[in-house]
Amino acid sequence: MYLQYSDLNGTLPESIGFLSQLQSLYLDGNSLVGTIPESIGQLLQLTILHLDLNNMSGPIPESIGNLPQITFLQLERNKFTKIPESIGKLSQLGVLYINYNALTGTIPESIGNLAETYYINLKGNQLSGTIPGSIGNISKLYYLSLANNQLSGPIPESITKISQLSFLYLNDNQLNGTIPESFGNLTNLQIIDLQNNYLCGGCFQWEEPRTSCDFGVSFNCRCSAPTTSNIPCSEIPSCQTKPIPPKSPNLVIFLSSTLSSVGFLLIIFLLYKFCYQSKKTNYTPVDN
C-alpha cells in the first residue's frame, strides 16, 4: 500500500490489522497523529513499514514484535516516546530508523537479538542510561548512530567486536571512561565520532595501517563530569588518524588554490611590466 505524501491526517485505525496479506505499508510524509495501534502486530506478512515524517506519538507498541517478516522499519521524525522490549523479536529486521523522535528511557537489552540488522539509527532522542553490552551481538551491523542523546557510562568493549562496523556515531552524549583500545581491531571502520562526551585518556593503534578513517574526539574530557575510570582525566592524546573534516573542505581548498594562482599571475605581470618599462626608457634610436 503506497500512500506516502498523500495529505493524510487523523489517526491510524485499529482496523488496519485486518489487512492480513499486506506486505508493504508506506504512509510517510503525511500528517498522521496519535499512536500506532496494537493491531499492527496482526500484519504477519508485513516486510516494510514506513511511518516516518508524520506527527505520531506515544510508545511504540509491544505488538510490533509480532511482525516476523519485517525487514525495514522506518519511524523517524515523529514523537514516539519508547522503544519496546519486543523489538528484539524482529528476527528478519535489516534496517531500523527511529531517529529524531522523543524517545526516553533506556535502549532495551533485547536489541542485541537483532541478528540480521545492519543499520540502526537512534540519533536525536532523549535516551538515557548505558549503551547495552548486548549490542555487540549484532554481528552484521554496518552503521550505528546513537548520537545526540543522553547516554552515559563507558563505551562497551562489545562494540569493538562487531567486525562489519563501518560507521559509528556516539557523539553528543554523556559517555565517560576511556576509549577502548580494541577499536583498533575494527578494520572496516570508516568513521568514528566520539565528540562532545566526557571521555578521557586512551588512544588506540590500528591493527593494520589506515589512511581513510575519520576519527573525531573533540570537546571531550570536560572534567567537571564524574568518570567511572580511575585514570586521571587528561587530554586525549593525538592519534594518528584523520580528524572529522569540516563541512565544506572543497570550498576552502578551492579558494586557497585560486587565491594562490591569482597572486602568482599578478607577480608575473608586474615583473613583465617593470622589464618592459626599463627597456623602453633605455632605448636610444639609431640614425641610418
CATH of the domain at 122: 3.80.10.10
d(CA 197, CA 220): 5
- Do 222 and 79 share a domain, yes or no? yes
- Do 223 and 268 share a domain, yes or no? no
d(CA 235, CA 56): 43
Over 90: is that where the pLDDT of 255 sits? Answer: no
- Do 165 and 226 share a domain, yes or no? yes
Q: For position 4, what pLDDT does the model report?
A: 95
- Do 182 and 281 share a domain, yes or no? no
- Specify the pTM: 0.77
Q: Once rounded to an integer, what is the mean pLDDT over residues 6-34? A: 97
Contact 86, 64 (CB under 8 A): yes
d(CA 84, CA 110): 9
Over 60: is that where the pLDDT of 152 sits? Answer: yes
- Do 68 and 158 share a domain, yes or no? yes
- Do 48 and 90 share a domain, yes or no? yes
- Do 209 and 261 share a domain, yes or no? no
- Do 158 and 274 share a domain, yes or no? no
- Do 177 and 279 share a domain, yes or no? no
Q: Once rounded to an integer, what is the mean pLDDT over residues 238-261? A: 42
Domain that holds residue 261: 246-288
* C-beta atoms surrounding 34 within 10 Å: 14
Contact 156, 178 (CB under 8 A): no
Over 80: is that where the pLDDT of 58 sits? Answer: yes
pLDDT bucket at 158, cuts 50 / 70 / 90: very high
